[in-house]
Structure 1
């Protein structure tokens, strides 16, 4: 075989090699984005105090429409450490990647429950407490110059086994809409006020454990019209956690008044936006 024939065969081989590489690159690109979105993580939504899992209803509908498996976790609201342990056991029943979404006090619970769990790939805080170690909710409300009026409008009721300083805390219905749900319709806020689930008052002063946001990527939605957690405190906690931060004009219940925005933030944390 002549040198010229060898060169022609080498040239043909190079062309075939180049053509065969094109679909490989396409598959690689699909694996880094489209395939990742097809392998949808499980979403666990954690409500906070004075609320229940039904507050996630509109977000849940949007997640399910996009094919996500989602759970609205029933937060006991008894103690930060106990609630986090309860969630930790629940997460242990799930397989594959998980995204934890916490609203308000639910943020403190996911901050503790996710620590050391390799399946939790992202934390999403919705006007929530991203506490540092040994920090309490009462202390966090003062961060960034914050000053919450919530404590001035609580009604305390004893429960079986409670002690004088630990009782069920409810928001006074007369102030519920103003503090908690100012951008919901008055009749809807009245239903929430009448059906609110109380939190044991000890949770507000219980110190938090090692925070999961130090090792797990986080996203944060600041509610700039929040009258429960001061927006300045929310911005401080988001900045401290190095969270990817977004801000919206919303009351404390952003997942109810702006469910589309909250859902989009969850999609971002899932890597599909």
Structure 2
């Protein structure tokens, strides 16, 4: 009898521990890079999040179109099955806005120098809504695609100043060489119904962003009723590289919010 009681007690303790673990489990952070970047742009942020116990996935964003990219990231979110914090940089903000639609496990959206479009808006239109973007003259002649349309890159000799002015020059040169192109069509594709109206959002960006004007970023954060907006003095468009601690802290705020 005493062995049966001991077994029952052990089982109850195990169930209690499992329940407590489930309650304290951290959400998975899904990081989505933007145009002219790639998944390693999140390396500094990932190191901090992993150290703090967060599961992290840095998705390879196809950069082909808002709807198709959003569907791809949405499939990743569905495959996780557990609570997710979706984080997007730049054009990746448009993608996470799409990807979260209909996903009950997305608990928060974090926009890192990112677009948060409303229905019918485009990345190109939002970046031109306020003065300050100098991206146009920095873009290289388009690469004509055999399947139709154009791929766009930033000229390597313009990349440091345009995209990553607060990153060491040698690092920016590596980023310029490994940048992923985006289709011209993706930047001009209209977004669907926004998910930031029903999912809480957080914003972080630099006040020296030359790709998306800070006034446009402030406008989108206010419109989305951002729970908290961090504006990093002197930071460029790649604030997650130059200030990974600030970005990671904002992501963790979103992850811990009730």
Residue 69 (str. 1) matches residue 55 (str. 2) = yes
Q: Which residue of 2 aligns with 1:92?
A: 78
Aligned-pair CA distance for 1:146: 2.9
Q: Secondary structure of 1:71's match?
A: strand
Counterpart among 225, 246, 251 of residue 208 in structure 2: 225
1:266 & 1:126 partners in 2: Cα distance? 9
- Contact persistence 1:44–1:99 (CA under 8 A): yes
Q: Which residue of 2 aligns with 1:265?
A: 250
Aligned length: 236
Q: Which residue of 1 aligns with 2:147?
A: 161
RMSD of Structure 2 on Structure 1 (CA): 1.7
2:71 & 2:22 partners in 1: Cα distance? 33
Residue 150 (str. 1) matches residue 135 (str. 2) = yes
Counterpart among 97, 100, 109 of residue 111 in structure 1: 97
2:117 & 2:160 partners in 1: Cα distance? 26
Q: Deviations over 1:47-103 (max 9, x none)?
A: 000010011111111111111111000100011111001111111101211000000
Q: Which residue of 1 aligns with 2:108?
A: 122
Q: Which residue of 2 aligns with 1:206?
A: 189
Aligned-pair CA distance for 1:35: 8.2
* TM-score, structure 1 as length reference: 0.83
Q: Secondary structure of 1:255's match?
A: helix
Q: Secondary structure of 1:160's match?
A: coil
Q: Which residue of 2 aligns with 1:22?
A: none
Does 152-161 or 132-141 show the bigger shift? Answer: 152-161
Give the number of the structure whose alpha-carbon radius of gyration is greater. Answer: 1
Q: Which residue of 2 aligns with 1:28?
A: none
Q: Which runs of 5+ in 2 are unaligned?
A: 1-19
1:176 & 1:137 partners in 2: Cα distance? 19
1:203 & 1:222 partners in 2: Cα distance? 22
Q: Which residue of 1 aligns with 2:229?
A: 245
Q: Deviations over 1:178-221 (max 9, x none)?
A: 11000001111111111111001111111001111010000000
Q: Secondary structure of 1:214's match?
A: coil
Aligned-pair CA distance for 1:177: 0.8
Aligned-pair CA distance for 1:159: 2.5
1:35 & 1:94 partners in 2: Cα distance? 15
- Contact persistence 1:146–1:231 (CA under 8 A): no
Q: Which runs of 5+ in 1 are unaligned?
A: 1-30
Residue 179 (str. 1) matches residue 162 (str. 2) = yes
